[in-house]
Structures are given as C-alpha cells and as structure tokens.
Structure 1
C-alpha cells in the first residue's frame, strides 16, 4: 500500500515582532518548511531552535522560497527590506499595516519587479493566532490567483477573507472596522466617565454596557441597506429630529457629572447640521454624507 504524503508549502517570513513570531510558530506547528529573517537576529535564532531556518539576509530569505510574507513595521520598512532582493517569480503577501493608497502603490511596485502581490489586513492580536475559536482572520486583496493558490497555507494561522482584486481593499476594510472599534471605545469611555464620581461599581455597569452595545450592533445592517437604496427614511424608528431634540439631556448630564463633552459634541454637531438641511424624518445615516463631502 502506497502512502501519499502531502508536502506543505514552504514559507519565507520577514519580520518577527510579536505578530510575526506568532504566525511563524503556527506554520512550524503545521509542518510548513519555514525560512525567517529579522533585523534583530536573536528573534530568528529563537525560531531556528524550534525548527525554522534563519536566513543571513532578507535577500537570502526571499531566494529560499516562492511564497514570501512580510510582517514589518510600516510600508517604508517593506521597501527598505526588499530593496536588495530578487522578487521575479515570487508571490509576495504583505501583512504590514498600511493605507489603501500605500497598498495599491506596493502592488504596482511588486508587479514591476515580476512578483504577484496580495495585501493583508490582520483582524487579530497575537494571542488569537493559531486558535480558530478566537475568531481572528486576515482581509486579503490583490491577486485572486495568488490567493486561490495559497489560501490553505494562509489560513493556517487565522481565517482568511478575500475582499477583491483592488490591492487597497484589505487595508480599507481593516481601517474601516478599526475605526468603528475606536468609536465604540470612545462611547464606552464616556459612559464610564459619567459614573466615575458616583457610588457605582464600574464592574456592575460593564455587563449592562456590553449587552447594550451588542443589542445596538445590528443597526449597521439597516444603515447599509439605506445607503445602498438611497432612502434614509426606510425603517426609521427614532428619526433625526427626535434624536437631535434629545441631545441637550446628554450634554446637561455630562456637565452636571463634571465630564468633558468632547467625545460627544462632534457627532452631535453633525446631527444638527444634517437636520438643518431639512432631513428630520431620516435616520442618522445622512451624517455619513456629511463626512464624505
């Protein structure tokens, strides 16, 4: 009886910070031959002791394999590290945080050097890597052929979500989701500030706040539907006029509690501006149009 052994795709990884090291260990654990390089050789030495091959230079690391993955500090670091390498015939997957414009420029830069390019936006933190139930994943955009060929390998550390051939889309999705996250953090910070001077245990507010945010989250689907259809009055429960009328209560409470209103006032101002255009029966969706003008 002949036993069929499936060979795992060899991977070259440039950049061994906290995220890069976590990624490296998952590929090693899954049996992928791994070549690593880092500016600080000691980090590569640690992984070499675990089974990776530590390259002497970035050029050496790139020459070792077809699939090249970068997880560096920023876009400038990618260009600097890859400047002296031969990318002809390589598949370059860039997991370095960048802007959509930088990703598009980097894709063209890679194409001019004979490489296929895929950009990635990591929606995970290092402790989530290698743990499927943690829910981490990476947005990918760029070469569809590259993604299809290497999806199985790329999905070893975390899940994969392909968002289009435009190389900038992964970064755009990444920043869009993280922007919403920071908005949530801002709202939570204001909520905790309101009770800070009261005899209220913040740990008692926390589960109420978490449940409330979860309950409000599905509203993004209605917002998306209104944006696509163009009718901002569709399905409205609390219209803009009513919500603007209620804002003084929030601002008065903030003042009475000795809390700065700076996290609330920019959004409230946008609401008032939208209402001034005569859109009182709308949802809050019209605020988005003010932001993109």
Structure 2
C-alpha cells in the first residue's frame, strides 16, 4: 500500500449528514480532491460550490477515492451503501465512521474485505462543529497497515488512536464510552427533576452539578486501577456509606412524587455487594455485580 500525504489523497465521503458534511469541510479546507455522494443529492450542492465533486452512485464515488469514508445514519444504511459500491471498493481503504455496535463492525468488515478492500472502523468523539479541531478525537480499529497509510488524512478529523486489529474494537470502546455518557445524562435528568420539584431552576442546579461531576470524575482512574487489580480496600467512600446515601436520595425522590427508575437499579447493585459481605469495600466493587465472571 502506497504511503499517503494529506494533500495527495483523493478522498470519497459517502453520506452527507451533519458528520459527513463536517468531514468534507475539513478535507476541502486542506485542499483534498473530495468526491461526495448522498442519497438526497441536493445536500451535495453547497459542498460542490466549495470544490467537491458529486457522484451519482456509491460505486462512482468509491471509484474516485483511494480512501472511502462512510458516515451514514446506521449500520443498515452503511451496509446498503457499501453493497451498492460493490467491486468499486477493490484496492481501496474503507473507513466506517457510522455509529454501530461490535456486531455491525464485524459484518461490515466482512462485506468490505470480501470486495477486496481494507476495512477500518472508527468512533468519532466530536460534535460536527468541533470536527477537525483539538477538541475532537477518534478511535480506530481494523487493518493496521491501512490505518497507518492513511493516518495523515484521518488525523485531520481529530486526534486518532488505534485500539487494535480486530475490526470491532473501536465499536466496543464506543459502546463503553457512550454507556458512561448516558449514565451521566441519567443522573443529570434525575437531578434537575428533583430540583424542579422544589422550585429550583435547571441552570441553577446545573452550575453546581458540573463542578461536582468534575471533582467526582477525578476518582475514576483510581477506580479503574482497583477494578483491574480486583483490589477494593478503601478507607474513604465505601459501599455501605454509598448505599445509605443513595437510599436516602431515592426516599426523598419518592416523597416528591418523582420516579426512581433511573437510580434504583444502582442501589440494588450496592445492596447486593453489601449483602455479599463487601460493605467496607470501595464503591468501585459495584462492577463485580456487572462484569462477566472469570
């Protein structure tokens, strides 16, 4: 595979939603010859005005680029588009930035490699406005040689990290990271609902919450070390203390007529660990009620 430089690689982008348009904007700003395709062809108009070339079909678009980037709605759409590109993918590198689970990544990898192309899966951590800025980062997995060959281009989208040769590893990381994100959102929604019940506006409670969550997040690297070592001794915030605290929070929530659906399952995990004799252990030991037994 011939090494590439950021200004010599023809790039194809399949999909012109918010992410796809942001990716194309970065490529055009860096002087790339960029071919685009989208099911709704009119979305290509503004990009063509900036220098992109519109293709009529996925196959035509794929044939124009040595690097083919896919950013569509979901796995089903990605599969349909890549199947439509067919033999035009041969000899190219496909980088799939469509959000999907590990099973989807394995399926798409099989489809792409079956057409004679290299497959790289990616998980983008950026809103469209931050693509191509230092705030964006992307995790990649799959064909390491293809990733290395095209890294000068891929790094234009955001700081890239290669997490392994298996095509589904970026999606595994993505599933884990987004699980943490949605858990944070769940706590936020519960917090503002509880404050609202007492007439406290969401902005007021959020200001303090953001500060507190930042401090709480500082504990996570230590928790991670405890979890990997399965060493849960602590002299600070143990499971008994947290079970009592969360029980009080849920009681106050119920007293205000609010549902406890978001946090009650966490209390059950705390109580399970306490009942198993781990009351004095670190809060991080809660993961033992979730992880696959070894």
TM-score, normalisation: structure 1: 0.92
Give 1:137 deviation, angstroms: 1.4
- Give the number of aligned pairs: 286
1:127-276 matches, within 5 Å, as: 127-132=129-134, 135-233=135-233, 235-276=234-275
Q: Deviations over 1:173-207 (max 9, x none)?
A: 11211111111111111111122132434323222
1:60 — aligned with what? 60
Q: Distance in 2 between matches of 1:125 and 1:244?
A: 36
More displaced, 187-196 or 104-113? Answer: 104-113
SS at match of 1:42: helix
Contact map agreement 2:6 2:32 (CA 8 A) in 1: no
Measured after TM superposition, the shift of residue 46 of structure 1 is 2.4
1:117 and 2:119 aligned: yes
Q: Does 2:97 match 1:98?
A: no
* CA displacement at 1:115 relative to structure 2: 1.0
CA distance in 1, matches of 2:19, 2:281: 43
Cα deviation digits, residues 101-155 of structure 1 (max 9, x gap): 21123223222221111001111111112333xx111111111111111111012
Map of 2:110 onto structure 1? 108
Q: Secondary structure at the match of 2:257?
A: coil
1:283 is aligned to 2:282? yes
List aligned pairs for 1:67-106, cutoff 5 A: 67-84=67-84, 85-86=86-87, 87-106=89-108
TM-score, length basis structure 2: 0.92
Report how far residue 15 of structure 1 moved: 0.5
SS at match of 1:178: helix
For 2:100 and 2:149, locate their aligned partners in 1 and report how far apart those are by CA, in whole Å.
24
Other structure's SS at 2:283 match: coil
Counterpart secondary structure, 1:20: helix
| Structure 2 match to 1:35 | 35
Cα shift at 1:88: 1.6
Question: Given the superposition, is the C-alpha separation of residues 62 and 236 from structure 1 closer, same or farther in structure 2, using an over 3 Å criterion?
Answer: farther
Instruction: Say if 2:141 and 2:170, in contact at 8 Å, map to a contact too.
Output: yes
Distance 1:6 1:50, change over 3 A: closer
